[in-house]
Structure 1
Amino acid sequence: MDPGRREMMANARPNRNRNITGPRADPKTRIAKTTRGEKSGKTAHKASRYLTSDQQSLEFVADEDRFVLRQSKKKADIRVREGRAMPIDRLAFNLRYIDKERDVFDDDDDDIEIELQAPETIVEQLGTDQLDQLQSDMESLLVLEGDPTNRQYWEALQALCKDQKSKLGPLGREDRVLSSVAEDIDKILKPKTCDQLEALETQIRAKLRSDEDIDTDYWEQLLRNLLVWKSKATLTRIFQTAVESREKLLKEKRSSGKQQAQPQQRQQKSSLLPSVAARPIGLPEKPGPPLPPPGGGRPSDNEDASQATKALYDREAARGISENEEIFTAEEAVPAHVKPRWTDRRGARKPRYFNRVQMGYEWNKYNQTHYDHDNPPPKVVQGYKFNIFYPELEDKTKAPTFKIIREHGRRRGQSHAAAGEADTCLIHFIAGPPYEDIAFRIVDREWDFSAKRERGFRSTFDRGILQLHFQFKKIFYRK
C-alpha cells in the first residue's frame, strides 16, 4: 500500500506533509475491486447464453450426424417403396413405426400398406458375403443412432449376424464337439423370456468367474447361445411393437377411408370425364367443337372377378379420393393392330382398375386477369393415378408395361387441336396372359418425372398392382 495512504488511514486527520500526489481519504470515492475470476450477475448470465467454441463444434457434429442418419433412413424407405431394397433397408424400414425422431413428412401415404418382415427371417436368408455387407452397414448406422431402442435393435442384429456367420463357416474339431450339445442348449433357452435369460446370464458369468471345477467349454458355449437367444428375444419384442403400431395406423386409415369413399362412390355414375377432357386448358369455357369424348367403356362380360382381384380393388377403393381428384373411367378400345394374338383364345380376362384423375385451377396470366377466387376458371386435368390389378399373371417375372399411342400421325410435342383445346392420346397397358390389354384416353401433355413428394411420380408393380401416378409439368411464362 502507498505509505501516504497508510499514514492517512492510521491518523484520522490529514497530514500536511503528505505527498500531494498521494491518494486522499474520501468515503464517497472508495472502490472495492472484485477478486480475479468473479463476474457480476448480469455479465455471468449474458455469458451463459453463448457456447464456447468446443461446445459449438460438438453441437455442429451432432446436427450433422442427425442429418446423415435421417437421409440414410429416407433412402432406405425409397428403395423399399420401389421394390429394390437391400437387407439393411428392410431392417431399417421396420423401425419407422416406433422411431420417436422420425419426421412424418418423409413418409408416403402408401408406405403403411407395405408388409414388415421379421428381422430373424431376413438374416437367416443371407449368405456370408451379404452378412459381411450387412454388418458394415449396421456399424455405420449404429455410430449415428442415438435412440436407445433403436440401438438395442441394431446391437441385437449384430449378435444375430455373428451367430449366422459362424453357422455358415467351416467347423473345427472343437466346434463339431460343441455343436453336438447345441440342440440341447437351445431347447433349454428357447422357452425363456428376456428377463429369465438375463438372470441366467448373471448366474453363468458368476459360475465362470468362480473357482469351481466345471466344464468350462460347456458353460462358455451355453453363454454364447444365451446371448444369441437374448438378442432374438429383444428383436422379437421390438418388432412386435412395430407391427402393433402399424396395424393400429392401418386400421385407422382404412376406417376413415371407407367413410370418405361412400359418398364419393355414389357420384361415380355421373359423367364427369367427358366434360373434363372437352374443357379448354387455361381458357374460359366457350361454345365450340369439343374434344373427342374419352370413351364410354367396353362390355365387361369377361372382367376379372377373382377373389384376389376383388380384395385388391376393395383395398384401393377404401382409400377414397382427395378433394382435387375424381374417379377416372375413360376406357377406350385397344386398336386392333396392336392387340396380341393370344387374346383371341378362350379364357382371356379384362383387368379391373381403380383410377383417379387430378383436377385443379391454373392461375396463368389470362386466368388471373379474367377470374378470381370467388369466380374461378374452369378446372383442368393436372395428372392421373392409374391402379390396375394383375394378381394372377402367368409370368410373374415380367412386369406389365405401358405405351403412348398418338393417332393421325401426330408425334410427341406436336399439336393438332384447335385453339383453346387440348390434344389427347391413348395410354395402352400390356400385361400378358391371362389379362387382355387395356387402354384409356388421356390429355396429351408433358409429364413431370420429378421425385419430389408434391409431384408424386410413381411407376411400380408390386403384389399384383401396377401403379402409374404422374402429373403434368407446369408451364411458366417469363416476361
Structure 2
Amino acid sequence: MGKEKRKSRKKSKTSKREVSSSDSSDDSSTDEEELKERKRQKAEKKARKLGKRLQSETIAGYSNESNPFGDTNLTERFVWHKKLEKQINDGMDIKELGLRAERKRQENRMKEIQSVKKRREERELEKAQAEEEALLLNRERAAAEAADLEKKEEEFHLQQAKERSIIRVKEGRAKPIDVLSKNLNAEPKEFDLHSDEPHHIFAGLTYKEIQALKLDIRMHLELDIDSNLHQTFWHSLMVVCDHEENEIRRRDEADRARMRGEEPPVHHFEAGLHKTVDDDVKKMFENKTVTELQDMDDEIQDVIDRGGGDVEYWDAVSKRLKVYKARAQLHEIHSKLRVDAQVAQSAAQEQAVANAMGWLQEQELGGPPRGNDDDDPMAGLAETEKEASQWRELSPRGAGEPEPEPEPEAGSLSPTLYDESDFRADQLMDPEEDFRELQAMRKQVAHEEGRMFQVAAIEASADAPVQGDQAYRQMVTRTGEGRPEWSHPVNRMLNNLVGERAENQDELEARAKIQAQKIMGEAEPGEGDYRGEVAIEQQAYWWHDKYRPRKPKYFNRVHTGYEWNKYNQTHYDHDNPPPKVVQGYKFNIFYPDLIDKNTAPTYRVIPDGSKHGETALLIFQAGPPYEDIAFKIVNKDWEYSHKRGFKCSFERGIMHLYIKYVFPFPSGHFLRDS
C-alpha cells in the first residue's frame, strides 16, 4: 500500500510538472492575478476593519440623543468601503485613514465651522450696527425736517397774523395788537411818527380786552423769534400786560367791595408794599433809563441775597422794578424806530423835492451838483459867500449895497446883534410876516407843489439862469445867516399867494359876520363880541369811523349741480356723476351806514379779460361812504323769473341779488348792465 501511494504521488508530481511545463506560458498571468486578488482581499479586510472602527466611534462629538440636527441615527456613520479599498491599494498610509487622523480632520472642520460661524456673527453685528446707524440718521433727518417744517409753519402763522392785522387796519376795525404789530413791522417810510408809545395801548381797555390782547401778545412772542429786537419788544410788552391785568382786576374787586360797603380784599394790596409808599416807589423808578433801572435791580437783588432789611418789601419793589424796566425798554425801542423813520422820511421828502425841482435831471445833464455843507465847513462857507454875492448882483439895489458883516467864528451859536438905526426901513422885515412866509413855503414843500416853484424859478432866472437857480436853491434849502433877502420874485409870488388866501378868508369871515348880525339883530347896550374859545383835548367821536370810506361786508353763496346733457347721460350715472357746474349765486351786500338811504345800490357786469370770455366781473356800486366791490362770476345767461329764483332787492340796508343761469346752458355769452 505504501509503495502504491508513493508511486501515485510520483505520478502526480510528474503529471504536475508536465502540466506546469506545458502551461508555463500561463503561470505568470495567473500569479499576478492571484497577487492582486490577495491584495484586494487584504485591503477589503482592512477597510472593513477600519470601517467598523470608524462606525463605532462618535467623531463629531454628538450622540443620537444630543445633537443640533435632530438626527436619532447620527452615530451610524456612512463608511465608503470602496474608497478606503482604493486608497489602501494606492499605497496610502493606514494611519492617515485611521481614527486619529479622522478626528484631527474633524477638529479642523469644526474649527473652520466655528470660524465661519464667528465671521457670520460679526457680519450680522456689523449689519445690525449699520441698520441702527441708518435708523438714527433717518431719525435725525426726520427730526431736522420736522423742525424745519415747524419753523415754516410758525413763519406762516406769523405772516398770516400780520396779514390779518393789515386787513383789519385797512377796514377800520383794528385791534390793539394790530396797532402794535403795524408800528413794529412797518418800514421806516411807513412808520407813524405820531403814534403813542406801546405801553400806552392798555389805557381804556377792559379786563376782557386785556385778556384777548395778552393772548395775541403771547402768540407773537412764540412766533416772532427771528429778531432779538422783536423778542425784547414782545417780552417787555407781556410783562406790562401782566401788570395791567392784575391792576384792573384789583380795581374791579375794589369797586365791587365798595359797592357792597365792604373793605377791599387783603390780596388787593401788594404784599410788602404799603399803599402809603407806593407813590414814593413810582417816583423812584419814573424817567429812568434801562441801564439805570438795571443797576438798581442789581443793588436790590444784592440786598435780598444778603437778607438785609425788609426782604418782603424789597421783593415787592423788585417786582415793580421789572414793570418799569419793561416800559423803559419799550420806550427805547419805540424811540429808535421813530428816529429811523424820521431819517428815512426826511430823506424821502428831500428826494421828492429834488425830483420836483428837477435837480437830479440837471446833475445827470452835467449841471453843478449840490454840495453837502456838513462834509466840508470851509466849502460851505465859500459857497454861502458866493451865493450871497450872486444875490446882490440880482438884487434891485445892485452893488451899492453895504458889504455884509463877516460870519461869526466857529462855536458861536447866537446871531450877531445889529443896531436898527443902521438899516433903512425897506431893509427890515416884520417877524410875523417872516413867520407867515416861512410857513407858506413849508406847506408848499410838504405838499410837493414843486412845479409852481420851478416855473417861478425859470421866470426869475431868465437873464441869469445859473446864478438865479443857485440862489433859489440856497433860499429853499438853507436857513440862518447868509440867507438872501426876501425881494426875490419867488418870495413875492408866495406873498401874493398867501395874501390871496388871506383875502378869501377875510371875505368869508365878513360874510359870516353880516349873516350873524342879521340873525341876532343890532347889538344892545351892554353887549359885545365874545371870543372866549378855549382849546380842549382832541377826542375821537363815534361818527368818525361811520363815514370813513370802506368796503361793504358781504355773505355770498354759490349754487352748483350736475348738468345731465346727452354726453353726461351717456358717460355718467348717479353712482358716478359728472363734474359739478355753477348754476347760480346768492349775493347779500350790507350797506348799514349809507348817507343817502333813498338811493338803492346798483350792479353791473363787465368783461374781466378772460381768454374765451368764460367769466365776467359783477360790480356793486353804492353811495358814500362805501367803495365799489366786485366778484368774478361765470358768464352765462340769467333766469329773470322770480319762479326760477331770481331776486334783486334792497331792504333794511341789505342788497340782495339771487341769480340762476338758464338750464340747459346755451353756448352764447352776453354781458348786461343794471
Normalising to structure 2: TM-score of the pair? 0.34
Q: Which has the higher helix share?
A: 2
Q: Which has the higher strand share?
A: 1
Normalising to structure 1: TM-score of the pair? 0.46
